[in-house]
Chains A and B, each alone.
Chain A
Amino acid sequence: MAGSIEQRIPLGAEGAVSLPLLDRIHQWVVTVDHKRLGLMYIAGGLVFFIVAGLQAMTIRLQLAIPNAGIVPPDMFNRLMTMHGTTMVFLVGMPILTGFFNYLVPLMIGARDLAFPRLNAFGFWLWLFGALLLYFSYIGGNGLYGAGSAPDVGWFAYAPLTERAFSRGNSTDYWILSIFLTSVGSTATALNLITTTFTMRCEGMTLRKMPVLVWMSLVVSFMILIVLPPLSAAQVMLLLDRFVGAHFFDTQAGGSAVLWQHFFWIFGHPEVYILVIPAFGFASEIIPVFSRKVIFGYEVMVAATVAIGFISMSVWAHHMFAVGMTPAGNAFFATSTMLVGVPTGIKIFNWIGTMWGGKIRFKVPMLFSVAFLLQFLIAGLTGIMLAVAPFDWQLTDTYFVVAHFHYVLVGAIIFMIFAAVYYWFPKATGKMLNEHLGKWHFWLFFIGFHLTFDTMHFAGLHGMPRRIYTYQPGRGLDTLNLIETFGALVQAAAVLCLFVNVVRSLRSGEEAGNDPWDAWTLEWATTSPPPAYNFVEQPVVRSRRPLWDLKHPDDPDSKYE
């Protein structure tokens, strides 16, 4: 069986190089291999990361000084809408989906996902949706000559999205493209769960799965439950816009607040859908570079499951200012603060993992430690926002912008970078340059803090979010100038990453199978792994099969 696969599909990079370019492209297009699809997701996500990053740069330049005229107001509004939508749906989701796609089968000792063709379908649907969103720049005008790209903000509050206030087709592009990428994500989530339940290698019970696989399980369940509310609300909005339904039409008795509920039932858990994979990366990387087993495996998993459940009951903390009853406000304040408890437990367990270890500060570990500190701050500002009265002042200001960028950049992007440095050798067989990696880390770390620490204070000074300009004389000038400077530093850091990747692919140091001396199954196969992942189906006896192999005298299975 294995032999016949080898004959049809060339192994690794050397095999592929010998083929003509068109054949190689053809192979990638028709592939159903989870590793290739995973890499395509990540590559696609990184391309959109550049696009949305450039949008952020333009936004920051416009806000660098008061009354700046770099972009007109309507273009600014499109930029901030596209930046938000792109970063969430076309950067965060695909990169994290890509890592899960790549890693989950390898980590559970499977040869592919349960439904490989569904997986390919999900990817192409995502890509189509992504291109559709950007096609709005061309097609969004409709017949009305109104607008191009969507300008309704990434949460698209009704009734600004109704025909009366959003003419042309830009909002329709927003609806359809996000709807399609959501269907793609749902298909992938279904696939990952089925794979995890039905294709684990011998000996790998649920309790012996790597933490990252657990995280993928929790995230996938969350995707299945919370993406449909967004899709359903988008279908309603589409009905409003095209066949004259009145779901969110306030003129006909419709409710603008209902959209907010539906959106945030999706929108808040979405943040956890994005951050839990980051937890997964941290739970793989921190132990390996601390040379210690993860502290409190069961508690880590249980805390994540708890976060998953609680996060579905906190959505209206985005809506403290819409005039809910005091009881409603108190309920959502309570549930929101309760999320802090399992989140805190996770941070403590990572510290527990480092405690007493021998920490090696390679680039992935640097990003992970920064993640720990930044995620701590993000959590604490989250507690401040959960205090409903405090939130009446903070919501919709730059304090909130700072808070969620601390989560999305400070936690998620930092861990994505860590994961790129950590698994790049596995996927390509080449190491990324450590020296350039450190430049990348320190520049990004400094730029990040210059930009986002300052934003908290702008918010406290009364700067609302989504304004294309602000007037002089309100105490906002210096803060905003620092933020813009920090953004430029971050851009320089990202440039280091791309230089690093290109250089490594050309002439990187050979990685070998297991460059980090790690313990999970993906390091047991070659780098890059063959199409069928493992020559022989692995058999595991503990959570760290490679530890058992390297320490036969003192295997983990004795202690678990």
Chain B
Amino acid sequence: MKRWLPILIGLVGSPIIAFANDWGMGASNAKIPPPTIFTPVSTPANEIDTVAYFTITVCAAIFVIVAGLVVYSIIRFREPPGDDGREPAQVYGSNPIEFAWTTVPILIVFVLILTTARTIYSVQAAPRPPDSILVHVIGHQWWWEFRYPELGVVTANELHVPLSDRAHPTPTFLDLESADVAHSFWVPRLAGKTDVIPNRKNTMWIDPHQPGIYLGQCAEYCGTEHALMLLRVVVEPRPDFDRWIAAQKQRAVADASVDHGRQIFETTACVNCHVVQGTAAEGRFGPDLTHLMARETIGAGAAMNTPDNLKTWVHDPSTIKPGALMPAMNLSQKDLDDLVAYLVTLH
């Protein structure tokens, strides 16, 4: 036993040490209501919520009856102590009973199928109204690209959509495509998940009727960092949304005080993968950084977007997100400071 003690302590202790650094995400998440499927704020999620409660009720009723029968029979028909050992009456079967317990389930299944089909059609076959917002969602290993083709905006990992209230329904339609492997777009409080598959275009829609931030994440295993392919949906009233769009359409502001940082950015590998509008950076493999500081998180929700975290990230992304495809930049401390100083001007 004594030999095992250090191992036990090690096993329990090491994760606790790791727990210490969550890059600020725990505190941030705690301010957002947890993403459970039973607090829907958008029509598809609402419809699912309704059919889910109905199904759960039916299943619970069946469970109570059948489990009741099992429990009753194991109590009632247990062999009494001191039994004479004679065999009970042998019953080989009964056609009327078999018929009954075949028919009743068929009827239940019939009702469930009708309910299911109705919901499938009302969610999947909804037409796209003219005043809706269109977003191209492109899944990458392991981050999300959001392109608003009608508004000329490109962003990543934090999807902004307008509030859709009854007076002004503005649903957002998402066209989902993948740049590499299969992913799945899932924000539980807004809609069910839809897979994001290469060489295939899927669509889904949401119409959130309550402003706020909604947590989601990739739900199809997509490789090493599947767990940290998180996303947030920011739902804001239409005027706020329009302001956000207007700000996102701006080119990056050139701030002379961080020229050295900008130079480093434009002369290293950064430009191969990232876009900063109005500069030489036109890579498409990584997230668009034109308005990096407008986002709360970096690394697809792996860390809060603070200068310190940015430094850690640029120095070596695998400190925060082991396996991330961005290479460690191996910059000197001064270059790193200057580069991050430049990045934090990208509002």
Contacts and interface: CB of A to CB of B under 8 A. Distances in A.
Interface of A: 61-62, 64-70, 72-74, 77, 151, 153, 157-160, 164-165, 250-251, 253-257, 290-293, 295-299, 321-323, 325-326, 329-330, 333-334, 337-338, 340-341, 344-345, 347-349, 351-352, 354-361, 369, 372-373, 376-377, 380-381, 383-384, 386-397, 460-462, 464-475, 551, 556, 559-560
B109 A340 contact: yes
A389 B227 contact: no
Contacts of A396: 184, 186, 193, 219-221
Interface in B33-52: 34-38, 45, 47-48, 51-52
B195 A323 contact: yes
Contact of B116 (A292, A297, A388, A471): A388
B125 interface: yes
Contacts of A165: 141, 180-181, 223
13 contacts: A73-B322, A157-B181, A159-B180, A164-B180, A297-B93, A337-B116, A358-B79, A380-B62, A387-B115, A462-B34, A462-B188, A471-B25, A473-B25
B197 A338 contact: no
Contacts of B217: 462, 464, 467
A330 B226 CA distance: 30
B78 interface: yes
Q: Which A-B residue pairs are the 8 nearest by beta carbons? A: A392-B192, A69-B18, A473-B29, A68-B15, A467-B227, A472-B26, A323-B202, A475-B34
Given A291-B87, A383-B112, A471 B29 contact: yes
A395 B193 CA distance: 8
B319 interface: no
Contact of B70 (A62, A256, A372, A383): A372
Given A321-B192, A383-B58, A393-B52, 19 more contacts: A68-B15, A73-B225, A159-B180, A292-B91, A298-B93, A323-B197, A323-B203, A326-B120, A326-B124, A345-B102, A351-B66, A359-B79, A387-B115, A388-B119, A462-B36, A464-B226, A471-B25, A473-B32, A474-B34
A153 B226 CA distance: 12
A337 B125 contact: no
B194 A323 contact: yes
B215 A474 contact: yes
B117 A461 contact: no
A467 to B, nearest CB: 3
A430 to B, nearest CB: 24
Contacts of A556: 90
B257 interface: no
Contacts of A340: 105, 109
Interface string B44-85: 010110011001101100110011011001100111100100
Given A295-B92, A334-B113, A253 B224 contact: no
A67 B22 contact: yes
Contact of A333 (B38, B113, B227): B113
A356 B89 contact: yes
B91 A299 contact: no
Contacts of B15: 61-62, 64-65, 67-70
Contacts of A471: 22, 25-26, 29, 230, 301
Contacts of B22: 66-67, 471-472
B93 A473 contact: no
A376 B67 CA distance: 8
A244 B322 CA distance: 31
B239 interface: no
Contact of B18 (A67, A151, A325): A67
Interface string B102-140: 100110010011011101110111000000000000000
Contacts of B228: 469
A359 B78 contact: yes
Contacts of B206: none
B167 interface: no
Contact of B194 (A65, A355, A390, A392): A392
Contact of B198 (A65, A159, A349, A551): A159
Nearest to A543: B92
B77 to A, nearest CB: 5
A359 B227 contact: no
A74 B323 CA distance: 8
A54 to B, nearest CB: 13
A329 B202 CA distance: 14
Given A333-B120, A356-B89, A351 B73 contact: yes
B1 interface: no
Nearest to B33: A475
Given A397-B219, A464-B218, A359 B74 contact: yes
A321 B223 contact: no
B11 interface: yes
A356 B218 CA distance: 52
User: Which of A321, A345, A351, A551 counts the most chain B CB atoms within 10 A?
Assistant: A321
